[in-house]
């Protein structure tokens, strides 16, 4: 009995430490993701502001709006393909390099990626009204918060969703690339609906995976691994949010 009484407080203390560590880990994930979102928004807004002018140029895009030389380079010249696909290349590169990077290096890479994503999606300020962008962003934020909270608190194991959702993402990428050349509104509409559903599922799935990965590795006390895991988790949730936002914007955004 004495032995049991001695062991039980130790186990309880360890459990409390893990719970506290999990909260700190999730706070770091959401905090890093939030900073990345702010950097993306600022980069997109700044670049779009530098890309459009009311002064007449050779590149007219509206009744009283014209592209600057920067705007033409980003949105109309062959450089647009680099701007469009660079974030995708960086995501794959980050996955390949994560084991070689330090936690600080991974965090820096993530912030650079977030700024690059801002440049890549800055075109939305040229196409959609500012009010609809803010409106869809708030809708996305509410949906994301609810889905992530459910993924964190649910007792249901949704790890089996992973393979199907990843296959869906691959299908979305292929369909989106094909539709760049086809320009079909019907395909874009279908892709947008499926995209919202897939990334909604990924939000819950990734949140539960971040939590479970921490619980599985917390006992080892590998601070470097946990630091990089938080950055990778922030990246996954960031991508879920951005993609859900972009697909919802395609469905509900009001165009200029």
CB atoms within 10 A of CB 233: 24
* C-alpha to C-alpha distance for 138 and 131, rounded to whole angstroms: 11
Instruction: Give the highest mean pLDDT range of 13-17, 20-24, 82-86.
Output: 82-86
- Bridge partners of residue 53, in order along the sequence: 66
Where does the pLDDT of residue 8 fall: very low under 50, low under 70, confident under 90, or very high at 90 and above?
Answer: very low
21 vs 28, 41, 80, 90, 204, CA distance in Å?
Answer: 10, 30, 43, 30, 21
pLDDT at 102: 86
Sign of the four-CA dihedral 8, 9, 13, 16: positive
Indicate whether 1 pLDDT > 50: no
- Give the single-character DSSP code of 58: S
Indicate whether 201 pLDDT > 90: yes
Q: Collect all residues with Cβ–Cβ distance below 8 Å to 41 and sequence separation of at least 6.
A: 118
* C-alpha to C-alpha distance for 224 and 53, rounded to whole angstroms: 47
pLDDT at 4: 40
Give, for 52, the enclosing helix (H) or strand (E).
Answer: strand 52-53
Q: Collect all residues with Cβ–Cβ distance below 8 Å to 102 and sequence separation of at least 6.
A: 224, 228
Closest CA to 226 of 111, 106, 90: 106
Indicate whether 246 pLDDT > 70: yes
Please give the full DSSP string across 110-177, using - where no structure is assigned.
HHHHHHHHHHHTTTHHHHB-HHHHHHHHHHHHHHHHHHHHHHHH--S--TTHHHHHHHHHHHHHHHHH
Give the model confidence (pLDDT) of 24-66 as tens digits: 899 999 999 999 999 999 999 999 999 988 887 878 777 788 8
Give the model confidence (pLDDT) of 213-229 as tens digits: 888 877 666 667 778 88
182-188 contact pairs (CB < 8 A, 24+): 188/250
Q: How many domains are contained in the chain?
A: 1
pLDDT at 5: 44
Which residue segment(s) compose the domain that 207 sits in?
2-252
Q: Collect all residues with Cβ–Cβ distance below 8 Å to 133 and sequence separation of at least 6.
A: 124, 125, 249, 253
Where is average pLDDT lowest: 3-17, 128-142, 235-249?
3-17
- Longest distance between any two alpha carbons in the chain, whole Å: 87
pLDDT at 42: 96
Indicate whether 96 pLDDT > 90: no
Mean per-residue pLDDT over the chain, rounded: 88
pLDDT at 243: 96
Closest CA to 33 of 112, 95, 109, 114: 114
Indicate whether 256 pLDDT > 80: no
The whole-number average pLDDT for the span 113-123 is 95
* C-alpha to C-alpha distance for 67 and 238, rounded to whole angstroms: 30
């Amino acid at each position: 009995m004495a032995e049991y009484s001695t062991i039980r407080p130790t186990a309880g203390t360890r459990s409390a430490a893990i719970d506290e560590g999990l909260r700190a880990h999730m706070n770091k994930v959401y905090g890093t993701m939030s900073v990345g979102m702010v950097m993306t928004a600022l980069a997109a807004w700044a670049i779009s502001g530098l890309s459009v002018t009311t002064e007449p140029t050779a590149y007219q895009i509206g009744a009283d709006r014209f592209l600057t030389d920067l705007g033409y380079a980003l949105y109309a010249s062959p450089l647009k393909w680099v701007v469009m696909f660079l974030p995708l290349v960086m995501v794959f590169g980050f996955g390949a390099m994560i084991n070689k990077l330090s936690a600080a290096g991974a965090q820096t890479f993530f912030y650079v990626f977030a700024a690059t994503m801002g440049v890549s999606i800055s075109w939305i300020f040229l196409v959609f009204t500012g009010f609809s962008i803010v409106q869809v962003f708030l809708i996305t934020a509410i949906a994301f918060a609810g889905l992530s909270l459910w993924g964190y608190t649910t007792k249901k194991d949704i790890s089996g969703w992973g393979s199907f959702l990843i296959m869906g993402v691959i299908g979305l990428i292929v369909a989106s690339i094909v539709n760049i050349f086809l320009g079909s509104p019907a395909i874009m509409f279908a892709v947008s609906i499926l995209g919202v559903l897939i990334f909604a599922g990924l939000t819950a799935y990734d949140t539960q995976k971040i939590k479970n990965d921490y619980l599985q590795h917390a006992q080892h006390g590998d601070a470097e691994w946990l630091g990089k895991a938080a950055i990778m988790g922030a990246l996954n949730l960031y991508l879920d949010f951005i993609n859900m936002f972009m697909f919802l914007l395609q469905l509900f955004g009001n165009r200029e």
